[in-house]
Structure formats: structure tokens, C-alpha cells
Structure 1
Amino acid sequence: MDQKQFDRIHTGKGFIAALDQSGGSTPKALLQYGIDTNKYHSDEEMFYLVHLMRTRIIKSPAFNSDSILGAILFENTLYRTIDDEPTADYLWNQKGVVPFLKVDQGLAGPENGVQLMKPITGLDNLLEQATQKHVFGTKMRSVILEANPQGIKAIVAQQFEVGKQIFAAGLIPILEPEVNIQSADKEASEALLKQEILDHLAVLDPQVKVMLKLSIPTRDDFYKDLMENEHVVRVVALSGGYSQKEANERLARNHGLIASFSRALSQGLTAWQTDAEFNRALADSIQAIYNASIT
């Protein structure tokens, strides 16, 4: 583990850019970017186009270590290059941005009010590949749909079980048990979730470190005690479907919580903008998200 990268993620001012749209979410990301499904005819063409989008974002002068601490990549991106340099290396060497990798393989069907992660096949091999590609940490998402104690217990247990495997491989895991922002009992889900997380943190081996990626809580500063836990490197927030403006307003009220936005980061960017228009729109987004992240 790179100590300089660890210190940057642990104490740096800024936020984490989520550039990890997967096979299921890539068509939506491309559509938001102005590229309709009739513009590509295979997964390979789709992934090529989304890599061009990500490359344009990463290479923009607005995308730099003054505001951005890290970036989460999709596995397909890990094996692609930017200016003939592996993407993870380009992020760190050229931009000073710490690379993370999405490792989950999607969600299982709803059960007990949650969607667990599907079993992650070949995880050990993927973690070895990530280490060889100089990745610092990982991210994996599951979803809480309602305040079901049994389901939330299962979702947190799964996140920590896989997280410990990832840490043992030399990487810092971002645990992401997302609470759906449309949930009718979102605040109750958050209370159950926080207690389960605290219970698991309390029995971790002393050396184990994790990050948490959580929905912006209903009650401001609700996750303050998680941020102060000795096992927690950083608590970051997903935008969860909020507009960038609303996500930033909610985030700014949660002191110490920083962004890890995807859709909210790329909002307003299109393939048809000139470079000057694109860079200006991205700079405005990054500045707004940064401002909300340093409260």
C-alpha cells in the first residue's frame, strides 16, 4: 500500500470521482452524454465510446489533484490506456489522483428489503490484477430498499466479509451499502445500517482499514461517529439520483462527508461540446462538488 496515496485519501481536501459505470449503467451514462444506443452495435463499441468519455474527463485541465483525491474505474477501463499509459498509472502519474476499482458484478434480486451483491467470481484474480495495475483500493455496491433488519444485517455482513478479503490482498475496500433515496423509510434504514456497521467495526482486527460509501443521510451529520472510527479511512457519499444541485446542498450540510459522485459529476457534459465548452462545464461541476465536500 502506497503511504502517500493513503494519506491523501485519509486527510486530503477534495472528493472522489466515480467513473465506474458498468455494463448495465453505461447506456444511461452515454445517453446523458448525448450518445444514443443507435450509435453503437456491440458491447465493445459501447465500452470504447464510454472510455473516450472518461478519457476526455480525465484529460481535462479541470480534472486535477487540486480538487480530486481519487477516481473509481470500471474493470474494463483498467485494461485500457490514456496516451499509451495504463489508465490507473495515468491517473496517479499525470494527475496525482488515486485509482480505485469497482469489483462487484451487479446486484442479486430483492430479498428481505435489500439487494445483495451477486457472488464475485474470480475476485482473487481480479485483486491480483488490480495490484499489478497499481490500484489503491476497490468499491462494491449493494442496495437497501427498506428498513428490514434481517436484510440490512445480511447486506452489511456481506460487505465486511468481502472487504476483509480485499484488505488482505493489500487494497483498501470501499464498502457501499447504498440506501435508496426513494425509500419510504430511508431514515429508519440509515439508523439500522449505521448500527450494523458500528457492530462490525467493533470486532475488526486492529490493522484492518475500510472506507464507506453511503447515501447522503436524512439527518445532517448522522455519520459523524463513523468518520471518527479508527478503522475508517474516509466516509464518502454517493449522489444516489439527486441532481447535482440538490446533492451538493445536502452534502454541504454534512461536515466531513465528501462526494463520490458519478451522474452528478458528469451532469451537463455532452459529446458535442467544444473542448472549451466541455472543460468549462466540467470545471464548474468540479468546483461546486469540491465546495460541498470541504465543509
Structure 2
Amino acid sequence: MALDAFRDELAATAAALSAPGTGLLAADESTATIGKRFAAIGLENSEANRRSYRSLLASAPELAEAISGVILFEETLFQDSVSEVGEPGPPIVTLFEQQGIIPGIKVDQGVESLAGGLAGESWCTGLKGLSERAARYYARGARFAKWRAVLRISSVGCPSELAVRENAWGLARYARTVQEQGLVPIVEPEILMDGDHDIATTASVQEWVLRTVYEALAVNGVFLEGSLLKPSMTLAGADCPERPGLEEVGAFTVRTLSRSVPAAVPAILFLSGGLSEEDASLCLNAINQAAAEGFAPWHLGFSFGRALQHSCLKHWNGTDRQAGQAALLARARANGAASRGAYAAGTEPSDDASLFVADYSY
């Protein structure tokens, strides 16, 4: 079978992406979403500006000290870079590879309303033609993939069993498909922060979701040692009046994962989910400190988008590449330290603004 031909490579790639003190830079925003980020700094959403910004990311010096891999949007994977003074350069993917950063690719094609589900529930699209696309991405240099399923907790009964099972099955079909083309699948069952539920409710739902996901992965014969998990941290809803402390977030998250995720998975790389840059680092740090005291056979790292790029975009402001890179590197260092449980609050510059967006999509 095709998977067997890639088994050793998949395991090696997953292990490299799970290096201690590292995580992923999620730079896979769609054209529409990067347009919203550019609008916040008064910048036109043009191909030239997208190329310039993503060239900034790829050429940031010493980024590989804390970043093991980068998730790209399809446009970026096939895009050439541009220098700070506007001269054409090598492919953006090559700049990352030259630093020792493994390129990855977002392969899902967005969510659609789930027929038969409760209000607001969705399923993720993109399975049709995925095998052929994955082969093309591998040929271009990508070595891992990402697929985001979205679930929500609400007072009307979300998530429904239909939504949990449908999204788990979609993640499993995606994971098996891309493994057969040589790509390590990042499995991302995101539970949105929207809602007023408490942290115990989140933990209960997350355990159910993760157990269902790994049951589906097993049925589909997914090679766990060549896969990664990208979950939400175990948090209270954004509107919950009882805000959990960092120690509580760490303890609940580690307990949830220990009850749900097989030890064969090399790494769990958390999404930031709308937390501010500093809060994302502090929560990740608390999770690793809790893990040091209990059961945690996986590398507990990060796969942040907004929580790595918010200050970077603001300082770049369309023109100042060095300032943007300095801000990016500061947050990369912070999260690298947090993935070891060694980050001290405020030791790296950050923006404390909340990055929460209701019903977030990209």
C-alpha cells in the first residue's frame, strides 16, 4: 500500500516537527483573511503585498531556533520571494527550507453548514481531489498538511453527535489520504472559544471529541507516529464570568489530553484560538509546567497564527521588514521557551490585545 512506502519518512518528519523548544508558524491565512489583517494596518490586499509579507516571514534570521515548521497557503507554496528592496528571489518555500524549517500546506477548503446539524454547526470540505493535490504539494516541497474542523459548545446542545462524528470522520479520511502521498497530517479539531461555558464543560466536550477523532483515525488505519494533533487549549468560553487561572488551564488541559490522546502521537501543537500574544504564551507555559508533574508522553508545543504574527504585522506596517521580523522573533522565542515550561511573563515584547473573533474562520 502507498502508506507503507512513506512510513519511515512520515515518522522522521513528525519527529523533526516535534523538536523540543519549537512549534509551528501558522501562515496559512486565505487571501480573504490576510486581507482583513492588511486592512487593520491600512494596506492593500494585493499579490505583491502578500508576497512581500510572506517573504519577510521566510527570511527572518534565526527563526528556526524556535520554529520547526511553517503552514502555508497554496498561493505561498508556489510563490517566489522578493527582497527588502523589491528584487526577485528564490521560491518562498526555499527560504524556509534553507533555514531548516519544514514547509507544510493547508489542504482543507473551508467549512459548510452541516445538514441535519444544530444551528451554526459545520463540516469541513476538501476531500475531493485531495490525493492529487497532496501529491502536487509534496513535489513542491511540502512535507506536512493541515485540516481544520470546527466545533462549538452552546446552550442548545452543540456539539451534536452528528457534528462530532462527521468532523472526526473527515479528519480521519484527510489524514489517511495525505499520508499515502507522503505528507504528515496535522489533525485539528478546534473547539471555538465562543460561549459562556466553564472550563469543566470544555474539558468534558473535548474529551468526547478527541476520543471520537482517534477512533476514526484507527478505523482508517492512520499511522499515528507519522501524525500530529493541533487542538484547542482547555479553556472556559470567552463569555464565561468565571475565568480560570493559568494553573487551572494547565491542569485541565493535561488531564484532558491524557484521557484522550494515544502516546504514539509525537506532538500536540496547540492553536491559540484568539488569545492575546502574551496569554497564549502564558497558557502554553502553564500546560508544560503541569505536564512536568504528570503524564505527558508527547511534545507540547504550539502552532500559532495570530499569536505569532499580530505584532509582526503591526511593526512591519507594509514597509519596515526588520521591525516586523524583530517582533516575529520575539514571539517565537517566547513560545519556544513556553514549550519547555520556561517562559517568564513579560520577558519578550508582545501586544496584550485580545485576538478573539467570534465564529472565527479563515
Instruction: Mark yes or no: TM-score above 0.5.
Output: yes
Report the alpha carbon displacement of residue 226 of structure 1 after superposing the two structures with TM: 5.3
SS in 1 for 2:230: strand
Tell me what 2:96 maps to: 91
Distance in 2 between residues matched to 1:206 and 1:156, nearest whole Å: 13
Tell me what 1:214 maps to: 231
Distance in 2 between residues matched to 1:212 and 1:85, nearest whole Å: 31
SS in 2 for 1:13: coil
- Indicate conservation of the 8 Å contact 2:176/2:221, yes or no: no
Which amino acid in structure 2 is aligned with residue 116 of structure 1?
A: W
Once the two structures are overlaid, the 10-residue window that deviates more, 252-261 or 179-188, is 179-188
- Indicate conservation of the 8 Å contact 2:27/2:72, yes or no: yes
- Indicate conservation of the 8 Å contact 2:173/2:220, yes or no: no
Report the alpha carbon displacement of residue 184 of structure 1 after superposing the two structures with TM: 3.8
Tell me what 1:19 maps to: 27
Distance in 2 between residues matched to 1:144 and 1:5, nearest whole Å: 28
Which amino acid in structure 2 is aligned with residue 182 of structure 1?
A: D
Report the alpha carbon displacement of residue 175 of structure 1 after superposing the two structures with TM: 1.3
* 1:264 maps to 2:307: yes
1:44-87, CA deviations, whole angstroms, 9 ceiling, x for partnerless residues? x2x33122111112212152x21111000000111112363333
1:67-116, CA deviations, whole angstroms, 9 ceiling, x for partnerless residues? 11100000011111236333323211x11001110011111125336321
Match of 1:30 among 27, 38, 49: 38
When the two structures are aligned, how many residues end up with a matched partner? 284
Which amino acid in structure 2 is aligned with residue 175 of structure 1?
A: V
Tell me what 1:74 maps to: 73
Tell me what 1:57 maps to: 57
Which amino acid in structure 1 is aligned with residue 111 of structure 2?
A: L
Distance in 2 between residues matched to 1:202 and 1:4, nearest whole Å: 21
* 1:179 maps to 2:222: no
Using the size of structure 2 for normalisation, the TM-score is 0.72
Name the CA shift for 1:73/1:195 in 2 (closer, same or farther; >3 Å): same
Name the CA shift for 1:268/1:154 in 2 (closer, same or farther; >3 Å): same
Seq. identity, %: 21
Distance in 2 between residues matched to 1:128 and 1:201, nearest whole Å: 21
Match of 2:137 among 115, 130, 145: 130
Distance in 1 between residues matched to 2:259 and 2:234, nearest whole Å: 13
Match of 2:165 among 143, 153, 158: 153
Distance in 2 between residues matched to 1:50 and 1:160, nearest whole Å: 32
Unmatched segments (≥5 aa) in structure 1: none
Q: CA RMSD in A?
A: 2.3
Report the alpha carbon displacement of residue 276 of structure 1 after superposing the two structures with TM: 4.1
Name the CA shift for 1:160/1:184 in 2 (closer, same or farther; >3 Å): farther
Report the alpha carbon displacement of residue 249 of structure 1 after superposing the two structures with TM: 1.5
Distance in 1 between residues matched to 2:330 and 2:204, nearest whole Å: 35
Distance in 2 between residues matched to 1:5 and 1:157, nearest whole Å: 24
Unmatched segments (≥5 aa) in structure 2: 1-5, 82-87, 154-158, 236-251, 289-298, 342-362
